[in-house]
Amino acid sequence: MKKVTKKVGKYEVGRTIGEGTFAKVKFARKTETGESVAMKVLAKSTILKHRMVEQIKREISIMKIVRHPNIVRLHEVLSSRTKIYIILEFVTGGELFDKIVHQGKLSEHESRRYFQQLIDAVSHCHSKGVYHRDLKPENLLLDSYGNLKVSDFGLSALPRQGVGLLHTTCGTPNYVAPEVLGNQGYDGAAADVWSCGVILFVIMAGYLPFDETDLPTLYGKINAAKFSCPVWFSHGAKSLIHKILDPNPKTRIRIEGIRKDPWFRKNYAPVEHREDEEINLDDVCAVFDDIEEQYVAEQSESIEGGPLIMNAFEMITLSQGLNLSALFDRRQDYVKRQTRFVSRKPAKAIISNVEVVAESMSLKVHTRGYKTRLEGISANRTGQFAVVLEVFEVAPSLFMVDVRKAAGDTLEYHKFYKNFCAKLENIIWKPTEGMANSSLLRTMTC
């Protein structure tokens, strides 16, 4: 049995809840208060190798500057000899993207509420001179109360003093403003407003206004703002979307105009926000001024053996309170970028089956202990597709397999997961009715 106790400063570190090319995000708990946080872990060697010091420092600094109820909060930054730890607010409601995929489209009332919160957050960023540049539903999270939280400021920009236009082409193609695709320089505020308009269209329609398989055709439609609204859009919604998706950034409606729009103003209640907290970037400077210094003691005790044991506290946060059915019923969360299933097969047998199925799907397999990374080329052959699976023991002879997207398109991941699980039906355990909420709960509270 492998039992791991890991601490970073005053935080107890748990499972990995997200994984990308340059960083992992882990669930963590503040030992003094029990508060849940998300810990973004970056290896210093990777940052140095890819010359990302300034980019990461900028992202962290921006997140400390833009403190707002509708923006994921950065609590602090810590460092060890080899790693940097970004401590973030733990947001439990998933991505807005997941909700759209699950429901198809949202009601006009609900869409307007999310859009109002998005505009409030973006307006706050712009008031601080920050331009997000990668606004899309996958970067919009929902908290436990259903409030929107803007995340992922990795491509954000703070224009240099005296420089009015931005010049870097970045963001996700379907959400990018036409002027960003050119090489003439662009106004970051106007470009963000365009992305907000695409998001509003997507959450109300359930599909993209500009969506083509080849980039030249896609760019042509974006440059011409060639789209049409579905018949169920109200006149007010159509009018506002057309004002936002204006290909000319000089005549495109600005945020102050959006806030005055009759459709936008319906049931609009601006969030109360006080800015009496002093912003201090000393910890950011301390981490990056000498990237090789050791600032935080990191302790890890480990005994080799089986897969990691997931404790009760982690399972409760994983399954959103004491409703444990999400752990067992794959129908409830098949649309998310992080999914899971339960098995009564031995952990080694689970890994073996995963490897066999992955190879039959022409995926490259990299296994280390009870964690496997699967890699392939995305369906449209535009980049890499990668998935990470990790086995946890949740009770004697009961294992949870955590599956999460590491690279590639989220919709493609949804299709992969459904197909992958169909091929693993022989190892997936389906409890009888009532067991999901009772037997595991008794195990957790023993």
Q: Which two tokens stand for residue 319?
A: 């399954």
- Render 77-101 in DSSP notation, one character per residue: EEE-SSEEEEEEE---S-BHHHHHH
Distance CA 255, CA 229 (A): 21
Q: Tell me the CATH class for 96-151+162-265.
A: mainly alpha
Range of lowest pLDDT (38-47, 293-302, 397-406) = 293-302
Q: What are phi and psi of 409, to 5 degrees?
A: -80, 140
Give the model's pLDDT for residue 334: 40
Distances (CA, A) of 143 to 70, 146, 172: 10, 5, 24
| pLDDT, mean over the chain | 78
Question: 221 a known binding residue?
Answer: no
Strand ranges, E, within 329-412: 338-343, 364-368, 371-377, 384-395, 398-407
- Render 22-68 in DSSP notation, one character per residue: S-EEEEEEETTT--EEEEEEEEHHHHHHTT-HHHHHHHHHHHHH---
Average of per-residue pLDDT across 210-234: 89
Q: Which two tokens stand for residue 321?
A: 């309170």
Give the model's pLDDT for residue 235: 96
Distance CA 371, CA 358 (A): 14
Under the banding of pLDDT at 50, 70 and 90, the label for residue 169 is very low
Residue 78's DSSP bridge partners are 85
Q: Which two tokens stand for residue 414?
A: 């949804």
User: Which residue's entry shows tokens 């049931």?
Assistant: 267
Distance CA 56, CA 39 (A): 15
Q: What are phi and psi of 25, to 5 degrees?
A: -115, 125
- Other CB atoms within 10 Å distance of the CB of residue 32: 8
- 55-84: pLDDT as tens digits: 777 778 888 888 899 998 888 888 887 888
Domain ranges of the chain: 4-90, 96-151+162-265, 308-444
- 118-157: pLDDT as tens digits: 999 999 988 888 888 888 888 899 998 889 999 876 544 4
Q: What are phi and psi of 374, to 5 degrees?
A: -110, 135
- 256-287: pLDDT as tens digits: 999 999 999 999 988 877 665 667 677 777 77
Q: Are 428 and 421 in contact (CB under 8 A)?
A: yes
CA 36 to chain centre: 17
User: Which residue's entry shows tokens 């509270």?
Assistant: 445
Range of lowest pLDDT (101-115, 283-297, 323-337) = 323-337
Give the model's pLDDT for residue 166: 44
- Other CB atoms within 10 Å distance of the CB of residue 275: 11
Catalytic residue ranges: 134
Distance CA 304, CA 356 (A): 25
Answer whether residue 300 shows pLDDT above 60: no
CATH 2.60.40.10 fits 308-444, yes or no: no
CA angle 76, 80, 86 (to 5 degrees): 25
User: Which residue's entry shows tokens 């957050």?
Assistant: 121
CATH code linked to domain 4-90: 3.30.200.20
Distance CA 52, CA 44 (A): 10
Q: Which two tokens stand for residue 41?
A: 């872990």
Residue 176's DSSP bridge partners are none
Range of lowest pLDDT (195-209, 217-231, 320-334) = 320-334
Q: Are 181 and 219 in contact (CB under 8 A)?
A: yes
Distance CA 362, CA 419 (A): 13
Q: Longest Cα pair distance anywhere in the chain, in angstroms?
A: 66
